[in-house]
Amino acid sequence: MLDDVRFSAGEFSTSIRFLSDPTQALEGVQLALFDTNTRPLLGSWSGPEVVWPAGESSKSWAQIDSALSKALELELGRDGVLAGVGGGVVTDMAAFAASLYMRGCKLVLVPTTLLAMVDAALGGKTGIDYNGYKNLVGSFYPAAELRIWPGFLQNLPERDFRSGLAEVIKHALLGESDLHSLLVNQRQAILAREPDVLEELIYKAIMVKVGFVERDFREKGERAFLNLGHTFGHALEAVAGFDGSWTHGEAVCWGIGRALDLGVRLGLTPRGYQREVESLLLSYGFVLRAPHKDAGALLSALKHDKKKYNGHVRFVLQTGFGQCLQTTADDAQVLATLAGGI
């Protein structure tokens, strides 16, 4: 079993425990928050709970309200321990509810998707979708404890597993050469979810995110590099209408492809690096073309990106492995980049 990790995020501190047994996941917890798919993963739990409907459409005020009213009904104090057990939807919402209850109660997160283990549950960004905008309302509130049981991933549907792999690949491109080698050399074992390899993959990917969060908790600088592929990817998700035709991870990989293309157009990304990353993404079955999409519609979705700077969309681009920068680009170049990806 892997050693525990402890790290700070601004004024907060998080410890990550790798469990040897999933029944340890809710030790000391007073209120557990699940979704309908994650509740059965901890069938032995018999304490107080709220079970949200599974899926992104649950990320709403109504579901936050259900958690807060349950906490009040149980008369939890500030020292009450609230836990979220699930993918990024549950961990984002549980963390948001915990940040609000009594201005912040103790939060334990038990991520059950690969994406939540290596990304969503780590680093304190919480939130819900609001008036059609993803993650528009939220707070920064890192968990006091993350409890990780890689065995949960054996139940995960294939597309959700691959969606998490997209974030792992992105973490590797940000400069973790051991993680990159693992992805290249152990592809079959990773896709077959062999436990030892999966554990190593999760650990290395977590450590990449921990580094960014420790150095730049409030995303004033380099934490934004974690958004590689996301500006383009969010535009694709918005145009596809969050209808399940593109998972978040699939859209991010398409977005990484577009970011590389824009980088090449701007003379920033070497073609050899572009080809190398594209072939890694393709080897994991990700697609770099979104046929039947309209470049104009993608451009207008992109301009609604909430991470604008002085009214301009800023793109995270790469000049090579582990080397990122943020830049703006004119509409003609962005439109040509989008047209090249449909």
Tokens of 152: 């949960």
In the bound state with ligand NAD, the residue whose beta carbon lies nearer, of 98 and 264, is 98
In the bound state with ligand NAD, the residue whose beta carbon lies nearer, of 76 and 153, is 153
In the bound state with ligand NAD, the residue whose beta carbon lies nearer, of 41 and 190, is 41
Smallest gap from residue 339 Cβ to ligand NAD (A): 27
In the bound state with ligand NAD, the residue whose beta carbon lies nearer, of 38 and 337, is 38
In the bound state with ligand NAD, the residue whose beta carbon lies nearer, of 226 and 334, is 226
Give the contacts of 29 (CB within 8 A, at least 6 positions apart): 47, 81, 82, 83, 108
Residues at the site binding ligand NAD, with contacts judged by CB under 6 A: 35, 37-38, 41, 54-56, 59, 86-90, 92, 112-113, 115-116, 119-120, 123, 125, 134-135, 152, 155-156, 160, 163, 248
Smallest gap from residue 267 Cβ to ligand NAD (A): 31
In the bound state with ligand NAD, the residue whose beta carbon lies nearer, of 37 and 318, is 37
Smallest gap from residue 331 Cβ to ligand NAD (A): 27
Max CA-CA distance within the chain? 60
Give the contacts of 64 (CB within 8 A, at least 6 positions apart): 93, 96, 97, 100, 128
Whole-angstrom CA distances from 224 to 90, 213, 231 are 23, 10, 11
DSSP 3-state assignment of 193?
coil
Smallest gap from residue 77 Cβ to ligand NAD (A): 26
What is the DSSP secondary-structure string of 166-186? Answer: HHHHHHHHTT-HHHHHHHHHT
Smallest gap from residue 126 Cβ to ligand NAD (A): 6
Distance of alpha carbon 64 from alpha carbon 52, whole angstroms: 10
Smallest gap from residue 340 Cβ to ligand NAD (A): 26
What is the DSSP secondary-structure string of 292-316? Answer: T--HHHHHHHHTT-S-EETTEE-EE
Residue with CB nearest ligand NAD?
88
Distance of alpha carbon 190 from alpha carbon 200, whole angstroms: 10
